[in-house]
Structures are given as structure tokens and as C-alpha cells.
């Protein structure tokens, strides 16, 4: 056994994927892209997405798509490509999301001999990627249509990632207007109208996603939650992941540092302390290098996360439901940000199991 460890029940991931795919097609949409970035393109978990019916595997990092090269489902690059990676983009991604004509030209050069598909992103107010001005969008459409090695595949939007804009029917309707605009101006049918991420999920079943035929889902599939209101999505598992870390020290100590003068902690912050008197404190072998300790929640509600440094996390286990000892393993629930950093840490073992 090796710790710290992040465990995921692949059957729950498959169930969530299949349920969302059914719900998406049940809402008259055609395809679902399953986003692999939170688990850094882990092949076993990606296989769960494919088994659950994902139409595309999508990731923001080309290195993760490279790991998934053997999968036959089409791969989508979510982050606008860097000019320095266009050769890899056309090699490992079938589709990329784009918003810069210069980059599209470079992709066209790199894609000689094949057809690389592009989705043009529009910014509908969230102020991350995408064409903000309509004329710039149509200029890009015209440019791509003249490029021999690119296929203009669709239009897309991303919301609720930077600007926290909640998707609404009137916002997403503009995406369909862009599709119609391309049809009217260029007599060209866009195949994909990609209406966002897990923040659009709350609108499913309400007839509020006009013209949208694709969603790109990450959080919803791995955690069973939507990201507009942070609600659990009915019928999905929200507990597929467990993080485990081992106790390396267990001692009774005061709950406030014992000195007259306090400076800053290892991260330059001025810490604050709640005086609970002398408490039983456990140190577990995981630190901020692996995960922000505010993003993990002990499954035993008697345990409190007090804080930590790069390699140590300190818990108050006085009220734990069992008598903790050195070597015991503490289980935690995780949120999306915690999964992202735990998967990125090479010091954390990953275990995929069938529950």
C-alpha cells in the first residue's frame, strides 16, 4: 500500500457518463465531449468515459491527448492552441477550439495532408476565450473557409469558468444566431454548436438550450455536480473519489503556537488560530505541494483540518470516531480543484477500482 492515494470507482464514472449521454441525447442534442483534464488524461478513467458513451475525449493539454492517442474516439483540444504546439495539435487532436486567425493559419500549415477540424469560440460575456466582436468572428469564418487543410466544424462558447456568467436561454440563443449567421453569409452548415460545460447542465430538461447540439462535460461526469449553482445532479454519483493519507505523527499539543512573537508561515501568510486548549493532533503525509488542504473534507465529521505546509497537513483528531494511531489512514472527500491538483502531483498514487 502506498499513500497518499486518490481512489476512483470507475463504475460510478461510467454510470455518470452514460446517464448524462442519455440525458443529452434525450434533450435532442447529438454529442457529448467528456473532459479528461482533471485526471491528467489517465487512460483507465478515460476508458470509463468511452464505455459510458462519450463521443469525444476532450482535454486542455496536448500532452494529455497524446496519452490518449490509442483511443479511437475523436479527440478535442479545449484550450486555444499555442503557436508553438500546432504540430502536436494536428497530430493528437482531431478538433481544436480556436479564437485567433494567426493560430488558425499556423494550424492550416501544420495540417498539410489532413483535414483538421476547428470550432470557433465566441465570448458571450464570460471574458475568457472567444471572439467578442461579431465582425471578427465572421472574418475568421471567411479565413477558415479559404484554408485548405482546416474544416470549419462548429461554433462554441465557454461560460462560468472565469467571469462566473450563468448560462441562460437568451445567452445561448446567440450561439445559434452565430450558426445561422454562417449559414446566411456563407451558405455553410456548422455541424457542432457546442453550448458549454457543466454549468449548462442545469438547463437540460427545461427546453432551454435552443440550437445547441453538443456539451463538453468534465465536473458533472467525475463529481456528479453542475457548476452554475453547485448542485448535485439527480441520478449521478457524487462520491466516486476518495483521497487517503497516512498519519505520521500523533501528539497532544496546544492549539495556539507557544511564543510571544509570530511572523508568517511557510507560504508567507499570517496564520490565525482558534484556542481549543490541548488537543490530539495528527500530521498526515500530504501537503500543499499536492493539494490545498481547504479543498479536502474528512469523511469522519469529528476530524478537523487545521492547516499545513508544503509536505504536512495537520488535523485535530480529538473527536474522531475511533482512537487514531500512527499509521492509520484518513479518508477525505474531494472537490474538483482537489482532484485536479492531486492528479497532477506525482507524489500521489492513483487507484482505479471497480466498486
Ligand X SMILES: Cc1ncc(COP(=O)(O)O)c(C=O)c1O
Rounded to whole angstroms, the Cα distance separating 52 from 22 reads 10
State the minimum distance, in angstroms, from the CB of residue 195 to ligand X. Answer: 10
Residue 154 binding ligand X, by CB under 6 A: no
Length of the chain: 355
Angle, helices 134-145/101-110, rounded to nearest 10 degrees: 20
β partners of residue 114:
none
3-class SS of residue 180 = helix
Site string for ligand X, 17-56 (x = CB under 6 A): ------------------x-x-------------------
Q: How many residues bind ligand X (CB under 6 A)?
A: 15
Rounded to whole angstroms, the Cα distance separating 312 from 114 reads 50
State the minimum distance, in angstroms, from the CB of residue 207 to ligand X. Answer: 21
Catalytic, out of 5, 12, 21, 37: 37
β partners of residue 207:
none
Measure CA 52 to chain center: 18
Which of residues 158 and 244 has its CB atom nearest to ligand X in the complex? 158
Residue 316 and residue 284 in contact, taking contact as beta carbons nearer than 8 Å: no
Residues of this chain, 70-109, that bind ligand X according to CB under 6 A: 78, 97
Q: What is the DSSP letter of 229?
A: S
Which residue has the CB atom at the shortest distance from ligand X? 218
Residue 342 binding ligand X, by CB under 6 A: no
Which of residues 199 and 345 has its CB atom nearest to ligand X in the complex? 199
Q: Is residue 37 annotated as part of the catalytic site, yes or no?
A: yes
Site string for ligand X, 195-214 (x = CB under 6 A): --xx----------------
3-class SS of residue 285 = coil
The binder of ligand X chosen from 42, 96, 99, 227 (CB under 6 A): 227
Which of residues 37 and 117 has its CB atom nearest to ligand X in the complex? 37
3-state secondary structure 86-154: HHHHHHHCCEEEECCHHHHHHHHHHCCCCCEEEEEEECCCCCCCCECCHHHHHHHHHHHHCCCCEEEEE
Which of residues 31 and 227 has its CB atom nearest to ligand X in the complex? 227
Residue 339 binding ligand X, by CB under 6 A: no
Residue 299 class from Cβ within 10 Å (0-12 exposed, 13-18 middle, 19+ buried)? middle
Which of residues 126 and 316 has its CB atom nearest to ligand X in the complex? 126
Residue 118 binding ligand X, by CB under 6 A: no
Which of residues 191 and 312 has its CB atom nearest to ligand X in the complex? 191
The binder of ligand X chosen from 16, 99, 158, 228 (CB under 6 A): 158
Q: What is the DSSP letter of 81?
A: P
The binder of ligand X chosen from 15, 216, 288, 295 (CB under 6 A): 216
Here the cell at position 38 is: 482533471
Contact region with ligand X (CB under 6 A), list: 5-13, 103-111, 168-176, 217-225? 217-225
Here the cell at position 153 is: 466544424
Contacts with ligand X, residue ranges (CB under 6 A)? 35, 37, 60, 78, 97, 158, 161, 197-198, 216-220, 227
Residues serving a catalytic function are 37
Amino acid at each position: 500500500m502506498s499513500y497518499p492515494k486518490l481512489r476512483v470507482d470507475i463504475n460510478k464514472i461510467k454510470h455518470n457518463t452514460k446517464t448524462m449521454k442519455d440525458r443529452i441525447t434525450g434533450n435532442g442534442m447529438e454529442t457529448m465531449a467528456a473532459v479528461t483534464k482533471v485526471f491528467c488524461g489517465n487512460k483507465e478513467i478515460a476508458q470509463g468515459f468511452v464505455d459510458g458513451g462519450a463521443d469525444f475525449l476532450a482535454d486542455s493539454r496536448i500532452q494529455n491527448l497524446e496519452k490518449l492517442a490509442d483511443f479511437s474516439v475523436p479527440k478535442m483540444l479545449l484550450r486555444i492552441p499555442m503557436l508553438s504546439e500546432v504540430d502536436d495539435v494536428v497530430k493528437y487532436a482531431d478538433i481544436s477550439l480556436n479564437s485567433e486567425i494567426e493560430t488558425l493559419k499556423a494550424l492550416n500549415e501544420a495540417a498539410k495532408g489532413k483535414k483538421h477540424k476547428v470550432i470557433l469560440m465566441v465570448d458571450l460575456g464570460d471574458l475568457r476565450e472567444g471572439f467578442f466582436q461579431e465582425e471578427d468572428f465572421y472574418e475568421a469564418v471567411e479565413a477558415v473557409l479559404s484554408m485548405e487543410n482546416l474544416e470549419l466544424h462548429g461554433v462554441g462558447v465557454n461560460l462560468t469558468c472565469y467571469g462566473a456568467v450563468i448560462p441562460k436561454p437568451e445567452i445561448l440563443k446567440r450561439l445559434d444566431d452565430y450558426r445561422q449567421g454562417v449559414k446566411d453569409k456563407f451558405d455553410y452548415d456548422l455541424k457542432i454548436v457546442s453550448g458549454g460545460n457543466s454549468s449548462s447542465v442545469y438547463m437540460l430538461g427545461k427546453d432551454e438550450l435552443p440550437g445547441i447540439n453538443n456539451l463538453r462535460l468534465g465536473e458533472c461526469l467525475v463529481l456528479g455536480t453542475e457548476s452554475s449553482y453547485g448542485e448535485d445532479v439527480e441520478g449521478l454519483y457524487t462520491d466516486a473519489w476518495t483521497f487517503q493519507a497516512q498519519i505520521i505523527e500523533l501528539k497532544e499539543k496546544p492549539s495556539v503556537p507557544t511564543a510571544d512573537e509570530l511572523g508568517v508561515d511557510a507560504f508567507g501568510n499570517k496564520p490565525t488560530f482558534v484556542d481549543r486548549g490541548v488537543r490530539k493532533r495528527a500530521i498526515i503525509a500530504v501537503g500543499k505541494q499536492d493539494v490545498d488542504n481547504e479543498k479536502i473534507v474528512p469523511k469522519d465529521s469529528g476530524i478537523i483540518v487545521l492547516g499545513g505546509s508544503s509536505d504536512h497537513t495537520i488535523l485535530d483528531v480529538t473527536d474522531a470516531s475511533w482512537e487514531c494511531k500512527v499509521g492509520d489512514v484518513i479518508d477525505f472527500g474531494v472537490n474538483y480543484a482537489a482532484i485536479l491538483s492531486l492528479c497532477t502531483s506525482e507524489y500521489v498514487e492513483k487507484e482505479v477500482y471497480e466498486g
